[in-house]
Amino acid sequence: MAKREHDDIVLICNPSAGGRWKQLAGILDSAEAKRVRRVVTDSIDDIGPALSSLSKRVKLVCIYGGDGTIQKILTEIFRALGDTERPPLALVGGGTMNVTSRWCGWTGSPERNFRRVVRDYLTDKLVTREVPLLEVQQGSQRELGFTFGAGTVIRILHEYEKGNKGKLGALGLAAKSVTAAWGRFPADYLPVLEQMQAEVIVDGERLPYSRYVGVFCNITGHVVRLVAPFQHERARETFYLLAYAINARELGTLLPLVIRGFIPIDPKSLIKPVSALTSVGLTYFGKGSLPLDPRYVNRTASSFELRTDEKVYTVDGEIFESNGEPFKVAIGPTLRLAIGA
């Protein structure tokens, strides 16, 4: 086996990712970073050409940044390099959202993650795994990533991105959303909470609803940190799918259950008290179950199409403007990711 060297490794840094300069400084000042090749840029468009200009000796690419930065870099890498052989990627974190890096097992600080990745690579201990990406197509626009979403929930995310980020900003927006959903105030915020008018087609079959609070397609099983709502095991050629045809007020009530993967019961089943109590009793003794809410679609799929006039959507937390054409989501190309313990 060829000897592994520091200059086999490329470190991609986007200093504007999350604004976390101290974390990035810790990486760049580490002994492990002294000899790796660096690509430091504020423009994601520079990433693909920079990688393609490097020698074929590059065996590992480390990415400093959050989910949005990773998504942009992935799309640019595949656009620039096409079907040529791509080196494994190590997602060391460093942004506002680090869902994907944590899913890969890199739960420490970005500096700690990076130093361990380099040491494991040099000692031939680095574990990698083939992971498929979602391919999100809207007309001629193509994005690659791990999560696609649209609907009321994404409009709220868009409001967060436009305002003051951080815990206080998130709490303030959550309070505003609850107040508007239940008290109809402030009036100018109500359009954000309206249901998404949409036609949803899954594996060639149209779902029997036209209004949704949100739809999501996902590869990893985690939409954001601590939100793992999916019920089924994903096969190699499928992705997770979640669609909920309720309104924002109902979602606010059921959210603690939904984000942890509990499928809501059909509220109509509680209209007849005797029938409901009987179902509860049968469930307790293992002889039955409460009817599940048919408006809640939680399954796996191999193709997804969304026809809607929504103005924005997300791929991995990054907000994009819609061009009005139908969305088509399917399993896209695969990449090899470094996996932590």
Cα–Cα nearest to 133, from 231, 203, 217: 217
Q: How confident is the model at residue 185 (pLDDT cuts 50, 70, 90)?
A: confident
Distance CA 95, CA 69 (A): 8
Environment class of 315 (CB within 10 Å of its CB; exposed 0-12, middle 13-18, buried 19+): buried
Which amino acid makes up residue 308? T
> Which of these CATH numbers, 3.30.930.10, 2.60.40.420, 2.60.200.40, 3.30.70.330, describes 147-333?
2.60.200.40
CA distances for 330 relative to 11, 21, 225, 263, 336, angstroms: 30, 36, 23, 24, 19
Structure letter (DSSP) for residue 4: P
Residue 272 in this model has a pLDDT that exceeds 80: no
- Low-confidence winner among 22-36, 45-59, 219-233, 267-281 (lowest mean pLDDT): 267-281
For domain 6-125, is the CATH number 3.40.50.10330?
yes
Amino acid 312: pLDDT: 97
The SS3 call for residue 264 is coil
Tokens, residue 127: 């574990």
Average pLDDT rounded to a whole number, residues 64-75: 87
Amino acid 308: pLDDT: 98
Distance CA 143, CA 137 (A): 7
Structure letter (DSSP) for residue 8: G
CB-CB contact of 90 with 60 (8 Å): yes
Using one digit for the tens of pLDDT, what is the confidence trace for 213-257? 999 999 999 988 778 888 889 998 999 999 999 889 888 887 777
Using one digit for the tens of pLDDT, what is the confidence trace for 101-144? 999 999 999 999 999 999 999 999 999 999 999 999 999 999 99
Amino acid 284: pLDDT: 41
Domain locations in the chain as residue ranges? 6-125, 147-333
Amino acid 282: pLDDT: 41
Using one digit for the tens of pLDDT, what is the confidence trace for 280-298? 444 444 444 556 788 999 9
38: phi then psi, degrees, rounded to nearest 5 = -115, 140
- Low-confidence winner among 184-188, 245-249, 258-262, 283-287 (lowest mean pLDDT): 283-287
- Higher per-residue confidence, 263 vs 1: 263
Query: The pTM is what?
Result: 0.88
